[in-house]
Structure formats: structure tokens, C-alpha cells
Amino acid sequence: MIIDLESIFNVEGLSKQFDYEVDMSSEELYGYYPFRTPVRVKGKVANETGIVEVNADACFELNIPCSRCAKEMSKPMKVHLGHTLVRELNNESNDDLLCVENMQFELDELVKEDVFLSMPYKFLCSEDCLGICSGCGKNLNEGPCSCEAQTDPRLDILKQLLDN
């Protein structure tokens, strides 16, 4: 979606609301294409006392495998976008400041950028996900595997000591 910033920069108190969807289905994340459904973006660009800000929430479902057990899950996510738009930067280094040279502001690119920046390195199906057995590859959330019967003999000795 392209937002014309010209009038917003020129008129104090003016705001433009938006509520639309961004297709991110061709975007790759950690080797997957997890944005199967559109990203819903809702917010506004407003000029409040001469300062132009964009504030929005991007809501979407992420279809991605668990980093521990590899089971695919659907995770609802919400990413907040908040930036002050400026026409030029005066040696300010602030990530929240966004310099717009073109008054035709391409919101989709900002949405994609902020969504990617907010992605965690790991996705877990649950905080106490047991992962997969390194021996047989079974998903241990679905029950113990037969590898557990073959315990390390050194552990047996330790267990005997503890039992006594």
C-alpha cells in the first residue's frame, strides 16, 4: 500500500488510517515459507503537532516447525510498528526515525522489514517441548522411545549408589 505523505506533512492534525493485508507468502524465514496467510496491518499515519508518526500492528499466523521437535505449528503473532517519519536526518541515529525522501510512502516494505526484525531465533511448540531423541529421532512429546530402556551402565551404578 502506498500512502501519500505530502498532505500529512503539510497539515497538522491530519491522519490517515489503514487496515489492509500484505501478502508475504513468498518471503522466506529460516528456510521455510511460514507466512501462508496474509499479514493484517492496522494503524495510522498521523501528523501530531508537526511530528509525523506511523503506528500500526501487524497480525499474522506463522506456520513453522518447532526448533526442538520439528513438529509444524501455527503460531499467532503480533508485531508493533512505530516510527517517526522525517524528511531529512540531522546526524540523528535512532532506529525509530525513518527518513522518507519520497512522499509516496511504501508501507509494505516497512511491514516486511519490521516483521523480520522482530522474529525470534527459535520457535518452540511449547516451553517444555521434549524435542526428539538423538538416538532414534522419535518425537518425545508423543511418549518415550525404546532407547530409554538401554540406559548407560555408568548411570546404573550411580542409581544404585543413590538408592542405598
Would you tell me which residues interact with Zn ion (CB under 5 A)? 66, 68-69, 125, 129, 133, 135-136, 145, 147
Q: State the minimum distance, in angstroms, from the CB of residue 57 to Zn ion.
A: 27
Rounded to whole angstroms, the Cα distance separating 46 from 153 reads 68
Rounded to whole angstroms, the Cα distance separating 75 from 59 reads 11
**Beta carbons within 8 Å of 133's beta carbon, 6+ residues apart:** 140, 145, 147
Q: Which is nearer to Zn ion, 149 or 161 (CB)?
A: 149
Cell of 20: 489492509
Q: Which is nearer to Zn ion, 29 or 133 (CB)?
A: 133
Q: State the minimum distance, in angstroms, from the CB of residue 162 to Zn ion.
A: 24
Q: Which is nearer to Zn ion, 103 or 129 (CB)?
A: 129
Q: Which is nearer to Zn ion, 86 or 130 (CB)?
A: 130
Instruction: Report the largest interatomic distance among the alpha carbons of the chain, rounded to a whole angstrom.
Output: 82
Q: State the minimum distance, in angstroms, from the CB of residue 34 to Zn ion.
A: 15
Give me the phi and psi of 58, to 5 degrees please. -110, 120
Cell of 107: 508501507
Rounded to whole angstroms, the Cα distance separating 144 from 30 reads 29
Q: State the minimum distance, in angstroms, from the CB of residue 155 to Zn ion.
A: 16
